[in-house]
A and B are shown apart, each in its own frame.
Chain A
Amino acid sequence: MSHPAAAFSPNLTPTLSQELADAVKRHTLDRRGFLAFSAKGLAVACALPVMGRIGAADAATPPTGKELASAYIHIGTDNRITLIFGGCEMGQGAMTGLAQILAEELGIDWSQVNVETSLADPVVSYLTGGSSAVRGRYDRLRTAGAAARELLVAAAMSLKGDGNRDNYSVKSASVVHTASATTWTYGALSTLASTQAVPADLRLTPPAQFKVIGKPVPRLDIPSKVNGSAKYGLDTWLPNMVFAAIKHCPTIGGTLAVTPALPGGAIAVVPCKQLESRGAVKAGTVNAVAVVASNTWQAFQLAARLNVKWTLPASTVDVDSGQILATAKQLMASGTGVLVADPVAPAGYTPASYAPVMAQQVGALMGTPTLDATYTLPYVAHGTMEVLACTVNITYNSGAIVGCEMWAPTQSASWASGTAAALTGLPATAITVHTTLLGGGLGRKIEQDFIAQAVQVAMAVKKPVKLTWRREEDIAHDQYRPFALVNIKAKLNGSAVTAWSSRNVSQAILGQRGWLPPGAVDSQAVEGSIDLPYELGAHVAEWVPLNAGIPVGFWRSVGSSINAFAVESMIDELALAAKVDPFQFRFNMLMEPRTIAVLAAAEAMSLWRKTLPAGHAWGLAFAHSFGTYVCQVVEISRNGSTGINVHRVACAVDCGTVINPDSVEAQMQGGIVHGLNATLWGQVTFVAGKAQQSNFRNARVMRANEMPTVTVKIVPSTLPPAGVGEPGVPPVAPAIANAYSRLTGTRVRTLPLFPGVTMGGL
């Protein structure tokens, strides 16, 4: 690719951001959501909204005039231009995408932009999740970039004494007075610019004139990822550091009975308490011990062999897959649920007041359902390539803790700072969190368990310490994608659906965190089961809370990956019952040109499905998540009695305005692999409180040589950018199940398709 590279510093020398953060604390942002000030040049602070999933500001929320800054654009007097940003890079290309948005509006070349991740400070960082890293920040960053550009132009105008804005243009980080060809670099204007007023008209670049947005510029972080120089959480290396490994009570809910004696060769054994309740694991209980040694391997060995006396919970009934399934079936049959209707209700109703009306209509129209099927999905681990790891250095003055510095691969530096504050008693100002690169996040690295353990170990050993989880701990002590039973009933009239109801029995991810008011529906459980793109007649969804003790969490695409399996399998079952081609069946029900275009693109991409060899079959699924529509068509064949070959996946996607088409393609390719891992093999089962899987050998994932050929087609759109990191996942499982049904004549309603298939060594 011909674009020269811009630069990316994963906060190895984050000197600038602390200075800016200190400066901005004296102000709040203005009504338009930004603030310009002088800091060795021009700084423009802006508030890039936190993710919508967990609360706080929604992506579409207008500025309030009371926000704190979460990103900065800095134009140095030396002409160095930097975007300082508080989120994380976990492979999704967010930093590159944000840099593209800035370069576009600021009027600079791609090679002139630098990106730094900021030091975590409650003021400057936020969560990365919900596929929000770019989509939620597009408008705000464009506006702030344009404001910075207009301040620089205003500075040039005051120097030139020509107040007509139309006589100036910007190019390659310079302002040009067109008539006289007078040129000023941004650096030369930066200090004066910081004293100018931001004009009302920011002259946002019309999309038709975009030069950087929408282009496949190379990712900023890739050069460092092909030579070993990229630093992940696992790679932090400090002078005099010691190395710790964690050992949890193998029975979930068990606690430490007696602190074990120090084994030979160990530096320390540190009991670690859990800060937040997660199912059977209760806040305040000591559910793990860390073993500290002089290298990680030694710590791993000592931890694995450590003989620990645990106090086991009185009962493990709700931490046992067989028992949980039985309870869930009972709840499906007779449990009390919470009704959910589409988010937009007719006039005179709220969604909540309309749900019972819809339920009544469904009841009246359904009679005996044409189809009534229950789908079962297991608990699934994240298994990020980089296990959980966190490095902490506590500083002391006369024996008292005065500071805490942390290097963490975290999706939430702000929460990590809060965790350290809770444990050390330090104010936030005395805590520094460096967000390293993440070796995969997938939702797991939002959690605080590994952060809290590392802080506790560092407090105990009074030396810099890196805590690392063995892979076995990572799989067996995850916060899993929830197990779910999903029942769908549907009524067909000819080839039209006239009534539809779904009932999801699952644990509440938000509820387990204490974020769910009593009687409220867990939004994570029902996403993907309501607000469907199809005309389904009278339709309603219901969620029945399941109280099990398994820790559950956010797993790439969360509820959408669960509900899409049930919904899109049922749609195919209905097409079969109506004797209509699955594409045609969906075309008949789709309501908007946008969704029809995505289905049509997938249909055109998969003409091969009409000439498949004997023993091969195709399957289709369509899903809407995080504002993005994805349709996938797969080709499979049998592989012995315990598997299938996946030959091809055609993937059509409409994710609104595209910032970087190459990143969109990469995220679709990756989402498909993630979905295939879960569809074919992914599950963690529990017997009497203990996870039965522990490493890739029995938590199998796809290998390189099993990769299908994936083709991705982006359906163009001028709508606002939507999510990209997660939406590739939900259609995979139903597309495979629908193909499998066509291949074998057997409908699969339980995931994974091939439980218990193990993986050999290399």
Chain B
Amino acid sequence: MNLNVNGKAYTVNVSADTPLLWTLRDVLGLTGTKYGCGIEVCGACTVLIDGQREHACVFDTSSAVGKKVVTIEGLSADNSHPAQKAWIEYQVPQCGFCQSGMIMSCAGAMNAGHHGSEIMPEMGNICVCGTYQRVKDAVAKL
């Protein structure tokens, strides 16, 4: 299967139903997208597919063929996406494990036309460290 991830072309040899999460992580070595639950509850695996938020843990690799996949590694070359800048300004991450998914959720919500305080209700991502207060503060400015 041919994939386009972060603007690069890849050919992968996995079964069609392999979740995109594991193709990204174990085949392409793009480990920024995280496994948290595998059942589409936590949001740690959030990526953008043709600009829209998807949960890579339940998204078949074959369904990504012909589409543009963006992972946290492809969001910007230099931490310059507005969400990344806000996350640094507000010192959001603690352990940081859920934050790729958090930031991709936020970026997807922005793509969908949401701004500022409209973004938070769009973000159901789980963070066990409890960084939510700072996520709230960070997205309020976007």
Contacts and interface: CB of A to CB of B under 8 A. Distances in A.
Contacts of A228: 30-33, 71-73, 100
Contacts of B89: 1
Given A669-B134, A703-B126, A91 B95 contact: yes
Interface string A214-238: 0000110111111111111011010
Interface in A430-471: 437-442, 468, 470-471
Contact of B88 (A223, A243, A662, A703): A223
A235 B96 CA distance: 13
A530 B53 CA distance: 50
Given A669-B131, A672-B130, A227 B76 contact: yes
B40 A91 contact: no
Contacts of B136: 704, 707
Interface string B75-111: 1100100001001110111111111101100000000
Interface string B50-90: 00000100000000000000011101100100001001110
A702 interface: yes
Interface string B11-51: 00010001101110111011111111111111110000000
B113 interface: no
A673 B127 CA distance: 9
Contact of B135 (A237, A441, A704, A759): A704
Contacts of A276: none
Contacts of A295: 14, 18, 22-23, 26-27
Contact of A91 (B55, B96, B134): B96
Interface residues of A, number: 66
Given A383-B128, A385-B127, A226 B37 contact: no
B5 interface: no
Contact of A696 (B37, B72, B73): B37
A172 interface: no
Which of A223, A709, A759, A762 gathers most chain B CB within 10 Å? A762
B124 interface: yes
Nearest to A229: B32
Given A226-B103, A227-B75, A234-B34, A296 B91 contact: no
Given A228-B32, A232-B97, A295-B26, A701 B75 contact: no
A666 B36 contact: no
B1 interface: no
Interface residues of B, number: 64
Contacts of B93: 91, 219, 221-222, 225-226
A674 B103 CA distance: 21
Contacts of B127: 385, 673, 704
Contacts of A230: 96
B3 interface: no
Given A296-B26, A666-B134, A704-B120, A762 B55 contact: yes
Nearest to A471: B37
Given A218-B91, A221-B96, A471-B36, A759 B41 contact: yes
Contact of B34 (A386, A441, A703): A386
Which of A695, A703, A710 gathers most chain B CB within 10 Å? A703
Contacts of B35: 234, 296, 387, 468
Contacts of B125: 703-704, 762
A223 B123 CA distance: 21
Given A227-B72, A296-B22, A674 B130 contact: yes
Contacts of A118: none
Contacts of B128: 383-385, 440, 442, 673-674, 677, 701
Nearest to A219: B91
Contacts of A221: 93, 96
Contacts of A701: 126, 128
A237 B31 contact: yes
B131 A670 contact: yes
Nearest to B130: A673
A131 B14 CA distance: 44
A381 B7 CA distance: 40
Contacts of B100: 228
A683 to B, nearest CB: 16
A92 B130 contact: no
A695 B55 CA distance: 16
A223 B71 CA distance: 16
Given A228-B30, A228-B71, A295-B26, A92 B76 contact: no
A222 B85 CA distance: 11
Contacts of A695: 37-39, 41
Contacts of B130: 669-674, 702
A682 to B, nearest CB: 11
Interface in A478-507: none
A439 B40 contact: no
B129 interface: yes
B32 A762 contact: no
A1 B136 CA distance: 19
Given A228-B71, A234-B34, A437 B133 contact: no
Contact of B95 (A90, A383, A697, A762): A90
B123 A705 contact: yes
Which of B32, B98, B130, B136 gathers most chain A CB within 10 Å? B130
Interface in A220-262: 221-232, 234-235, 237, 243
Interface of A: 1, 90-93, 218-219, 221-232, 234-235, 237, 243, 295-298, 300, 383-387, 437-442, 468, 470-471, 662, 666, 669-674, 677, 695-697, 701-705, 707, 709-710, 759-762
- When A and B form their complex, which 8 residue pairs have the shortest distance between CB atoms, in order from nearest? A228-B32, A673-B130, A439-B97, A91-B95, A225-B96, A91-B94, A707-B132, A297-B22
Given A232-B34, A385-B34, A673-B129, 9 more contacts: A91-B95, A223-B88, A227-B72, A385-B98, A386-B95, A670-B130, A702-B132, A705-B124, A760-B41
16 contacts: A225-B93, A226-B87, A226-B88, A227-B72, A231-B31, A232-B97, A297-B26, A385-B36, A385-B42, A386-B95, A437-B95, A471-B37, A471-B38, A696-B41, A704-B123, A762-B124
